[in-house]
Amino acid sequence: MRRLAALALAGSLVLTGCVSGPPDTSASASPSGSIEALTVGIDETDKSPTIDFRQGLAWDTAETSVVWDGDGDHLEAGQPLLLDMYGVSLEDGTEVIDTYDGFAQSYLLAPELLGDDLYNALLGVRVGARILHVSPAPEDNPDGEPPIAIVVDVLPTRAVGTKVDIGDDLPKVTLASDGTPTVKIPKDLDEPTDLQVVTTIQGTGTQVRDGDFVKVNFTMVDWDGEELDSSWPDEIAPLEVEVGSGDSITAIEEGLLDQTVGSQLLILAPATYAYPDAGPVVLVVDILDAFTPQESE
């Protein structure tokens, strides 16, 4: 599907949909459908969205409605995005994308990545919003792509929650307007001999458990405050971590345990918890998303 090629590759393609009745074949021409004829619901099993509609309608116009508004910043062209998406064919209800059974997907807000229709639908929407978007079939449509309806949740790309006062005897974290952290380490601060995990922003999302898959933004600096690694530049996607797998450094995997989505962590780690050749390190970690594989199967 040309309009959602990137989305379909990133999401889970399955073969069932939510429709409200059989197509009406009695009329010689299909009546026009409009976004008001769609109903967005919630699957009580996993809290993912559902889309209810009547088959047999003609969907000729791109339309967008806000299911609920967000309270974050308005989206601007070119900025990083984190999206949960569920979409169906408006011909037969076939699912074309479903990210709610796994990670939300990272993009930049650009038409070449999202398609013109979805790009225009998201431009100016606030972070935290849920939108419903209808995209008609392309005019030049050799592949027979159907019209589609898609629910999109715009998730934060930074920690969101209650700021926690951590005092003055720890590294100082300063956040740029987009959430990018910088770290200043006090000169008289003793090097850590064990892992220290401090919550600087308390989120209210899902609690991270052993075996979970977690998406984070992070910055790592050495004990002199020099940056060693970061996921914050726009062209770099957030880090995906399987907690307990040993694929990421111990400081991140152990630091994430029992924390909640939306939180920001300040992690002080001895060299043995990170990179022995780099010495002790300090990490700032924003927890963006998490899911438990057993619950998504």
Per residue in 61-90, pLDDT (tens digit) is 999 999 999 999 999 999 999 999 999 999
pLDDT of amino acid 33: 87
What is the Cα–Cα distance from 201 to 95, expressed in whole angstroms? 37
Question: Is residue 6 pLDDT above 80, yes or no?
Answer: no
**3-class DSSP assignment, residue 278:** helix
Residue 3 pLDDT level (bands cut at 50, 70, 90)? low
pLDDT digits (tens, 9 = 90+) for 120-155: 999 999 999 999 999 998 888 778 889 999 999 999
With bands split at pLDDT 50, 70 and 90, how would you rate the model's confidence at 29? low
Query: Does 286 score more than 70 pLDDT?
Result: yes
pLDDT category at 195 given cuts 50, 70, 90 is very high
Instruction: Check pLDDT > 50 for residue 23.
Output: no
What is residue 277's three-state secondary structure? helix
Q: Please, are residues 100 and 77 in contact by the beta-carbon 8 Å criterion?
A: no
Does residue 48 contact residue 100 with C-beta atoms inside 8 Å? yes
Question: Any idea how long the chain is?
Answer: 297
Domain 162-296 fold is Chitinase A; domain 3 (3.10.50)
Contact predicate 18/49, CB 8 Å: no
Give CA 177 to chain center in angstroms: 19
**Over the Cα atoms of the chain, what is R_g?**
22
Check for a shared fold between 2-155 and 162-296: yes
The set of residues, in sequence order, having a beta carbon less than 8 Å from that of 144 and lying 6+ positions away, is none
* Sign of the CA dihedral with 269 first, then 273, 279, and 285 last: negative
Q: Which CATH class name applies to 2-155?
A: alpha beta
Phi, psi of 210 (to 5 degrees): -60, 135
Give the helix/strand (H/E) hosting 85: strand 80-89
pLDDT on residue 55: 87
Query: Strands, E, within 187-256: which ranges?
Result: 196-202, 213-222, 227-230, 239-242
Distance CA 258, CA 293 (A): 17
CA distance 111 to 34: 23
Q: 64 by DSSP, 3-state: which? A: strand
Can you give the pLDDT at residue 294? Answer: 60
Read off the pLDDT band of 1 (50, 70, 90): very low
Q: Which of 170, 120, 135, 150 has the alpha carbon at shortest distance from 59?
A: 135
Domain locations in the chain as residue ranges: 2-155, 162-296
Mean pLDDT for 253-264 is 97
Q: Are 192 and 270 in contact (CB under 8 A)?
A: yes
For residue 77, give the 3-state DSSP assignment: coil
Asked if the model's pLDDT at residue 42 lies above 70, the reply is yes
Q: Residue 22: pLDDT above 60?
A: no
